[in-house]
């Protein structure tokens, strides 16, 4: 609790200073040369990122991250946000991060044309707005926009899941939990800065609803780009639904499914007889998934 309170205090101080146009020391964020970084090993995708306007990249570190960016005033707030999300999400999943020594690299793009060039060089899907790959994060932060979105929190959630649960988490659960956790964190981050903010969960049009058995079996994203938002929304809704049913049971379910349990067995371990089979879950969940209502505010 003390850790979270200290982060809230840091967020408030940083926000006030930035709003007044003042310089601010955001934690231990300080620009350094690439040669001074504690870890200079880059993935192929990281190398591709730094090949775009290679002479303009700057670098810095914080407790858990290494940053590559173009302007410090853009990257410094990202460092506060990233550390906030990392600790909150790890705590939410009941994981101890203190023994994890390897830092994650975050590449921060500002201009749409730079991101488009990176998408091309990295062979990314055209709808990709941010990505976690190989333990590194690649995001966009346009300084012209005052309010950002939950992309950073979404990708950091992928990082936490990958670090502490491995690669066995199915696509729907990985993306659904990343959306669920990042929406909550983003709302909490904005509330700490004095804004009225609540996480909102989008309903699924009934005619586009994907049965749970089909959703759980997806190994890749829908080929139809128009179906991609439906996949994300419904996956987030299913995570929210299960977490609301039993928070501790959901964590047990998550752990079991990450270790290769079939979804039916993982449900049994996490929720007992609450959901007798996938048809029973689907029947109850479909009503929730297709209702248009705001998500409850997190504690």
Ranges 89-93, 186-190, 288-292, 295-299: which has the least confidence: 295-299
User: Which comes out higher in pLDDT, residue 143 or 37?
Assistant: 37
pTM of model > 0.85: no
User: Which comes out higher in pLDDT, residue 108 or 202?
Assistant: 108
pLDDT band at 264 (very low <50, low <70, confident <90, very high): very high
Q: What's the rounded Cα separation, in Å, for the pair 31 and 66? A: 10
Which whole number is the average pLDDT over 148-163?
Answer: 85
Query: Residue 32: in which H helix or E strand, if any?
Result: strand 30-32
Quick check: 20 pLDDT over 80? no
CB burial of 229-263 (b: ≥16 within 10 Å; e: otherwise) equals ebbbbbbbbbbbbbbebeeebbbebbbbbbeebeb
pLDDT of 169 reads 96
pLDDT of 225 reads 83
* Strand partners of residue 139: 108, 130
Sequence-distant (≥ 6) Cβ neighbours of residue 170 within 8 angstroms: 216, 218, 257, 263
Give the CA radius of gyration of the chain: 20
pLDDT of 33 reads 96
Quick check: 142 pLDDT over 90? no
Q: Specify whether the backbone of 135 is left (phi greater than 0), alpha (psi in -120 to 50) or beta.
A: left
pLDDT of 85 reads 86
pLDDT tens string 3-16: 444 444 444 444 44
pLDDT of 189 reads 61
pLDDT of 194 reads 54
pLDDT band at 18 (very low <50, low <70, confident <90, very high): very low
The percentage of residues in the chain with a pLDDT greater than 70, rounded to a whole number, is 82
Instruction: Please spell the DSSP secondary structure of 63-118, one letter per residue.
Output: SSEEEEES-HHHHHHHHHHHHHHHHHHHHHTT---TT--PPEEEEEE-SHHHHHHH
Q: What's the rounded Cα separation, in Å, for the pair 257 and 267? A: 9
pLDDT of 3 reads 40
What is the average pLDDT value for the chain, to the nearest integer?
Answer: 83
Q: Read off the tokens for 54.
A: 């290679």
pLDDT of 281 reads 95
Q: What domains sit in the chain, N to C, each tagged with a CATH number?
A: 2-168 (3.30.2010.30), 190-289 (no CATH)
| Alpha helices, DSSP H, located in 135-211 | 151-165, 171-192
pLDDT of 99 reads 78
Quick check: 24 pLDDT over 60? no
Collapsing DSSP to helix, strand or coil, 179 comes out as helix
pLDDT tens string 81-118: 888 888 888 888 888 887 788 899 999 999 999 999 99
Residue identified by tokens 């309010």 is 147
Q: How many helices (H) and strands (E) does the chain have?
A: 11, 6
């Amino acid at each position: 609790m003390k850790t979270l309170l200290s982060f809230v205090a840091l967020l408030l101080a940083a926000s006030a200073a930035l709003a007044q146009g003042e310089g601010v020391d955001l934690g231990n964020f300080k620009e350094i040369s690439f040669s001074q970084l504690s870890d200079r090993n880059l993935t192929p995708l990281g190398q591709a990122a730094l090949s775009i306007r290679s002479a303009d990249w700057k670098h810095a570190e914080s407790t858990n991250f290494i940053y590559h960016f173009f302007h410090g005033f853009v990257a410094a707030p990202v460092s506060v946000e990233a550390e906030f999300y990392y600790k909150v999400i790890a705590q939410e999943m009941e994981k101890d991060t203190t023994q994890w020594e390897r830092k994650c690299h975050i590449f921060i793009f500002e201009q749409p044309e730079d991101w488009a060039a990176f998408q091309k060089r990295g062979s990314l899907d055209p709808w990709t707005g941010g990505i976690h790959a190989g333990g590194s994060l690649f995001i966009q932060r346009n300084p012209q926009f005052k309010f950002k979105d939950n992309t950073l929190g979404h990708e950091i959630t992928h990082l936490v899941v990958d670090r502490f649960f491995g690669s066995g988490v199915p696509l729907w659960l990985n993306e659904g939990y990343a959306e669920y956790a990042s929406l909550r964190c983003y709302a909490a981050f904005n509330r700490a800065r004095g804004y009225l903010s609540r996480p909102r969960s989008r309903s699924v049009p009934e005619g586009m609803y994907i049965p749970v058995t089909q959703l759980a079996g997806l190994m890749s994203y829908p080929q139809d780009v128009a179906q991609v938002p439906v996949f994300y929304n419904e996956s987030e809704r299913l995570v929210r639904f299960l977490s609301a049913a039993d928070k501790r049971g959901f964590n047990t379910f998550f752990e079991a499914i990450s270790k290769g349990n079939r979804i039916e067995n993982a449900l049994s371990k996490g929720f007992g007889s609450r959901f007798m089979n996938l048809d029973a879950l689907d029947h109850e969940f479909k009503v929730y998934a297709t209702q248009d209502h705001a998500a409850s505010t997190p504690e």
